[in-house]
């Protein structure tokens, strides 16, 4: 497991989200750490939430099965980064 401080992780995560969801009009600095991913903030939808769960699986080896668990994790960049730090297997 590579070590990475939290700020680096968040930066990396933003880049991955942009690439994974093809957010071509966004740069990492456009996404605030506490900006909601869904609804008002980034404006993602239910398909995106599934794509993000696949991202966590492919990039960090985290398999979220329960959609309720997913909703707790996929709130904003902070919650995602916290969860990754605690649960990553790669």
Partner 1 sequence: MYIHQHTCISAQQTFGEIELNTVKESVNNKLLAVEPKYEGIPPGILRRMGKAVRLGVGAALPVIKNNNNIDGIIIGTANGGMEDCIKFLNQIIDYEEGMLTPGNFVQSTPNAIAAQAGLMAANKSYNITHVHRGLAFENSLLDAMMLLKENQEAKYLVGGVDEISTYNYNIDYLEGWYKKTATVNTALYTGDSTGSLAGEGAAMFLVSNNSSNAVAYIQAVHSIHTTDTTQLSSALQHFLQKNNIETEDIDILISGENGDNRLLKYYKAIENIVHAPAARYKHMTGEFPTSTAIAVWLACNADKLPAHMFKSGDNEAAPENILIYNNYKGMQHGFILINK
Partner 2 sequence: MSRIVVTGIGIISAIGNNAEENRSALINGISGISNLEFCETKYAGLRPCGEIKKTTQQLKDILNAHEAGVTRSSLLGLHAFMEACADSNLTPKQIAATDTALIGGSTVGGMCVTDELYHDANSDEEGSEYLASYDCASVNLYLQQRYGMAGIINTINTACSSSANAIIYGARLLKNGLAKRVIAGGTDSLAKFTINGFNALHILSPEKCAPFDKDRKGLNLGEGAAFLILEKEEDAIGKKVYAVLSGYGNSNDAYHPSSLSDAGDGPYLSMQSALQTAGLSASDISYINAHGTATENNDAVESTAMLRLFTSPPPFTSTKGNTGHTLGAAGAIESVFSIFNLYYQEIYPALNFNNPIEATGLQPVLKYQSHPIRHVMSNSFGFGGNCSSLLFSKIS
Per-residue contact flags (x/-) with partner 2 for residues 59 to 78, judged by CB under 8 A:
--------x-----------
Contact (Cβ atoms closer than 8 angstroms) between residue 74 and residue 82: no
29's tokens: 């600095």
Q: Give the span between the Cα atoms of 33 and 47, in whole angstroms.
A: 21
CA end-to-end distance (rounded Å), the chain: 5
Q: How many CA atoms lie within 13 Å of 51's alpha carbon, on the beta-carbon side?
A: 15
Which of partner 2, partner 1, none interacts with 20 (beta carbon under 5 to 8 A by kind)?
Answer: partner 1
At its nearest, how many Å lie between partner 2 and the CB of residue 42? 17
At its nearest, how many Å lie between partner 2 and the CB of residue 63? 13
Q: Taking Cα atoms as reference points, which of 65, 55, 66 lies closest to residue 90?
A: 55
Which of partner 2, partner 1, none interacts with 85 (beta carbon under 5 to 8 A by kind)?
Answer: none
Which of partner 2, partner 1, none interacts with 75 (beta carbon under 5 to 8 A by kind)?
Answer: none
Kindly list the residues in this chain that would bind partner 2 in the complex (CB under 8 A).
45-47, 50, 54, 67
């Amino acid at each position: 497991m590579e070590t990475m401080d939290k700020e680096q992780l968040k930066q990396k995560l933003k880049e991955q989200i942009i690439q994974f969801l093809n957010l071509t009009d966004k740069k990492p600095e456009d996404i605030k750490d506490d900006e909601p991913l869904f609804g008002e903030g980034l404006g993602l939808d239910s398909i995106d939430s599934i794509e993000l769960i696949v991202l966590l699986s492919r990039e960090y080896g985290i398999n979220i099965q329960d959609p309720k668990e997913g909703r707790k994790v996929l709130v904003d960049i902070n919650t995602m980064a916290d969860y990754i730090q605690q649960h990553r297997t790669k």
